[in-house]
Structure 1
């Protein structure tokens, strides 16, 4: 039987675990602790840190895994690629490209070298300050974290030092990037590259939570609304230019962009699938199972013969965001979910509180409904 090893056990990984099991694979999962729904969703769980390349490689060899993968996790991707390269397993992007896209500063440098998506920014080393920075307001971000951890918006120089300290607390390397705050609506783009050509391109509007944490996604909507539809062709051209400049030959990419008055600008490019269950929204709006197609490509299937951008029925994916001190109950879900939602998933066990990653907000689950 073909065996797969999924790195991580949070809800996004359950999607991949379930999809692989539906294909008849035996699916193992690992994580540094026995936490998350993937622990029981997998056929077997192993307590192995997903950032420990040697340990994950040893585990993959011991279970004779023919596939090592992860979705929605930037920190897992270097391990995915490193283990897959070492064991001769199928994978999409090289270690070099994975490292470039995992680092916000390296991504900016590659885009600058290709004269793409100009954004004012400054790399700040572990022992450096940002006294030369003069563009405000500005984002201060860790270069290698995920989940909006350690990100601040500063309005003047007096706030920089505290923001640098917060960003450094969320990064392994101690390196921070300062960027100008871009103004405009956000658009995320799912892309699949096959033999150097963009074979799938689907943009979606990304709406941010109106709360004290910066950049937390509250909802996604497909297709683009009138406010961003006019940027469609520019976004498509920018994606194609980035694919060429980065030398991407095969695999998924997840772009986050802002449509400014000067054109679209890239916030980040991820060498993975998103962590927001967007594959389900894509499937419900277009009928195309993006997650299964990506996994199938790893398993040797050809890319499906579908339109590059399938027609989409208007739908929205909305997260249930609340205080991490709130209990997940049926009553909570009844009061929170849209009455005519097409799909609802409360991802916190009934009677429990969500996994705490900060003291402000937690994701309890999500829903999908028609319209915007």
Structure 2
């Protein structure tokens, strides 16, 4: 019997986990990207140079090669393509195109959540800087409406600052639109959840630590357990109400949340895996393999309820997923101290001496490690 075929959109660091899993399961692995430069390339049996936003060409590839499954992790821009092609080609998808389209666009997400939704924040969209001339909520954040990876995000204190950064932010948006939002001053957390048949089956809260010296909330590390674990009841309500509003009935869901005076506000919702390899931290701390669960769900349409049974280990320790990072265009150099006591896992994205590619333009991930922080 011929192996089942999966098409993975993207071959970068976020997709490397997925591509490796598919290869290990002896699927016939197809991949595509706008570039052939990516760490996941060596786990693809077949590769096509196709922009993952090009729905027509992706659909044609699926039909020509009789692809059975299409998926991606850690990528907002892949989700609408996956949902649309799956619908058109009668393939299983966790979410529909409308949901993917909403979550991939920051304005549509805010509008779908609704102005009266208590976890939402004030916002406005504009294609020209003049559209923000009478915005009076400062400090604020401006962002391209549909970019990813913290590109084009700036904290602004006045309309003059908006004018200064608007063109750069707009350049990262596919249609030139920019969103401005009320700036939230507080700690950030991440929520990784899993939904099956409209019910939240898994819920995991971690503290999200970003670089204070760079704009845009660039991720530095995740810590578990979260110091906001006491808000679990409210956070579960937030997740349940949000997935209902957005019609997320199946699959992984990632939330980025800001806590202000013990009240959670939504920064981002994504019906996908995060791009931070959090599934590995979850597996190490809870004994639950979300990647395995999601892919079994995708390939069979089912999940085993026992997959969510936890085997949580040392509850007195704190665990950290920390990114290794360097400035763009520098030469990769890994510290010799990465084998310190308490370290559980390390993964490098590049070889020593490689040039660090530019993504956000400030500080770029070169790998990550997971360690245990003793109490």
TM range (shorter): over 0.9
Q: What is the match of residue 252 of structure 1?
A: 252
Query: 1:208 & 1:337 partners in 2: Cα distance?
Result: 23
Q: Distance in 2 between matches of 1:180 and 1:338?
A: 41
User: 1:305 aligns to what?
Assistant: 305
Q: In structure 2, which of residues 201, 216, 219 is the aligned counterpart of residue 217 of structure 1?
A: 219
Cα offsets for 1:315-346 (capped at 9, x unmatched) = 110001111233224xx331566454111111
CA-to-partner distance for each residue in 1:63-85, whole Å, 9 max, x for gaps?
Answer: 22101111001111111111111
2:328 maps to 324
Task: Return closer, same or farther for 1:304/1:371 CA change in 2, 3 Å cut-off.
Answer: farther
* CA apart distance, 1:116: 3.4
**1:143–1:176 contact (8 Å) kept in structure 2:** yes
| 1:172-215 deviation line (CA, Å, top 9, x unaligned) | 01111111111211111111111111111111111001322321
| Contact 1:337/1:367 (<8 A) preserved | no
1:237 aligns with 2:228: no
For 1:169 and 1:213, locate their aligned partners in 2 and report how far apart those are by CA, in whole Å: 17
Q: Work out the CA distance in 2 between the residues paired with 1:148 and 1:333.
A: 25
Aligned length: 368
2:91 corresponds in structure 1 to 89
TM-aligned CA deviation for residue 258 of structure 1: 0.7
Deviates further, 31-40 or 112-121: 112-121
2-side partners of 1:112 and 1:309: how far apart? 35
Question: What does residue 280 of structure 1 align with?
Answer: 280
1:231-270 deviation per Cα after TM superposition (whole angstroms, max 9, x unaligned) = 2211111111112222222122111101111610000101
2: distance between equivalents of 1:76 and 1:322?
Answer: 26
Q: C-alpha separation between the residues in 1 aligned to 2:198 and 2:220?
A: 33
Residues in 1 aligned to 2:53 and 2:313: alpha-carbon distance in whole angstroms: 37
Which consecutive unaligned segments of at least 5 residues does structure 1 have?
A: none
Give 1:189's aligned residue. Answer: 191
Q: Which stretch shows the higher mean deviation, 131-140 or 160-169?
A: 160-169
Structure 1 residues 155 and 38, CA, compared in 2 at 3 Å: closer, same or farther? same
1:1-372 to 2 correspondence within 5 Å?
1-112=3-114, 115-126=117-128, 128-225=130-227, 228-261=228-261, 263-300=263-300, 302-306=302-306, 310=310, 311=312, 313=314, 314-329=318-333, 332-335=334-337, 338=340, 340-371=342-373
Provide, for residues 83-122 of structure 1, a one-character-per-residue CA deviation record: whole Å limited to 9, x for no partner.
1111111111110111111111111112125623131211
State the superposition RMSD in angstroms: 1.9
Distance 2:163 2:131 in 1: 8
Contact 1:223 1:312 in 2 (8 A): no
Contact 2:207 2:226 in 1 (8 A): yes
Contact 2:23 2:43 in 1 (8 A): no
Cα distance in 1 for residues equivalent to 2:262 and 2:225: 22
| TM, length-normalised to structure 1 | 0.94
Tell me how far 1:305 sits from its aligned partner: 1.8
Kept in 2, the 8 Å contact 1:253–1:269? The answer is: yes
Partner SS state of residue 86, structure 2: helix
TM-score (norm 2): 0.93
Distance of 2:44 and 2:335 partners within structure 1:
26
Equivalent pair of 1:114/1:245 in contact (CA under 8 Å): no
Distance 1:278 1:125 in 2: 35
Does the 8 Å contact 2:55/2:85 carry over to 1?
Answer: yes
**Superimposed CA distance per residue, residues 25-59 of structure 1 (whole angstroms, 9 cap, x where no aligned partner):** 11111111111111112122211111111111111
Question: SS where residue 305 of structure 2 aligns?
Answer: coil
Taking a change above 3 Å as real, the CA distance of residues 120 and 301 of structure 1, as seen in their structure-2 partners, is closer
